[in-house]
Amino acid sequence: MHDTSHKCRISNRAVGPGDFRPISVVPVLSRILERIVVSRYIYPAFDHLPFRLRIQDQFAFRPTGSTSAALIDLLQKVTEMLLDNEYVVITSVDFTKAFDRVRHHALSIKYLQLDLPDHIHNWLMDYFKGRGHLTRAGDVSSLIAWINASIIQGSGVGPPSYVVEASDLHPRNSQNAITKFADDTYLLVGSTSIGTINEEFNNIEQWANNNNMKVHPSKTKELIVSRPRSKPKIDPLRPFIDGAERVSTLKVLGVVLDSRLTMSEHVSRVLSACASSTFALRLLRTHGLGSDQLHLVARATTVGSIMYASPAWWGFAGIGDRQRFERLLARLRRCGFLPCDFPSIETLANEADRKLLKSISQCPSHVLRHLLIEKPTSGCSLCPRAHNFIQPPKDNRNYLGPFIKLSVPHRVKHIALLSWRLQHYYLHTNAFVTEVSI
């Protein structure tokens, strides 16, 4: 097994060693062995972690983890906090080169707390030792620099090892929350406990110092999310955390959030990106690309950009924003970039929601399973249901549907008009008419 890794340039304007990152080059047999160890020993050990090590708030490098799951968890926590808080502060924290700064000794101590056989633990620690990297430019190679703090990027055991490393980072106060996706960390603090936000941030910085990490100062941003019809009395220019940047929109794992969770800014940015991909599709057709190939490219680029993490943000998007996507899809159909019978965005979003719900219901260890509460079994013989979960309560105070937003007189008028339309329809179809009560 090779114990050296070549440095791979990650910037087109490399000016120093910091612009390079070591990527491990290991044999195929080694990667196969690593995947076996991860799937048979490390992942099962995640189901029985001690109390001090918890990964319920980590959604990267887990079998069912994804950015969609992390966004769903974060938005769920924010909306639940808004039930009891006037506003919620989302603070994004990023660690500088987190994967390259993990100390092997500290990682070994945390691995000892997992339910792993001794020979697997010894193999893991031996795997991290005795490695080095070199930089090669043409025919010139540097001397080997031995690695003593890294989880070896490009390896099979590296990603789950970072999950173990960050498993002891938790909020100090129970009313606050943290959502993590790899080294991207988001701290959530409500208005009723806003006095603890600096304590929570200091806790994150202390954890970083104890684990050889460093908080990226320029990537620490604050977003205040408030109720739709409330105006929190706070200074819009002075952040709660010293050195943080107060922003009106925050890009969280590829989805842009604003202070009202309306998704309008996210839709505008996605449409702007889709305009570039549409131009590329026209260019490809000019160069002779066939219709079938154009359809594949459009699905992979334009439609893929629209549907990214749709189960997390689609429910927050307004009707106007959804229609903007539908108009874009209609234009792609007219131009021949998509088939004429290509489904609507609404259909694709509903199908994505259905697949996610099916995945959660069929996997008891799913990272989002804690959000669904199983319905108690009944002794009666009932019709089969699509799932056996309790429907989540509707938030009628913060995020109202279009019909609920109507005032009482307009609501009565709306029901009366609906009743008249139903009667008119049944009269013309010779059906039985029943009185609709208001």
In this predicted model, what pLDDT tens digit does every residue of 52-85 receive, in sequence order?
898 999 999 999 999 999 999 999 999 989 988 9
Where would I find the H helices in 102-223? 104-112, 118-128, 158-165, 197-210
Specify the DSSP class assigned to residue 365: T
**Structural contact between residues 7 and 22, judged by C-beta atoms closer than 8 angstroms:** yes
Length of the chain equals 438
Give 218: exposed, middle or buried? Use CB within 10 Å, 0-12, 13-18, 19+: exposed
pLDDT in tens, 388-420: 777 766 665 555 443 333 333 333 334 444 444
The per-residue pLDDT for 135 is 76
**Structural contact between residues 220 and 243, judged by C-beta atoms closer than 8 angstroms:** yes
The per-residue pLDDT for 306 is 95
Distance of alpha carbon 58 from alpha carbon 169, whole angstroms: 10
Q: Which residues pair with 38 in a beta bridge?
A: none
Helix (H, G, I), strand (E, B) or coil at 150: coil
Q: pTM value?
A: 0.82
Displacement of CA 154 from its chain's centroid (Å): 22
Residues of the chain with pLDDT under 70: 1-25, 236, 378-379, 382, 385-386, 392-438
For every residue of 397-433, DSSP letters joined together read: TTS--TTTTS-HHHHHHHHHHHHHHHHHHHHHTTPPP
The per-residue pLDDT for 411 is 36
The per-residue pLDDT for 326 is 95
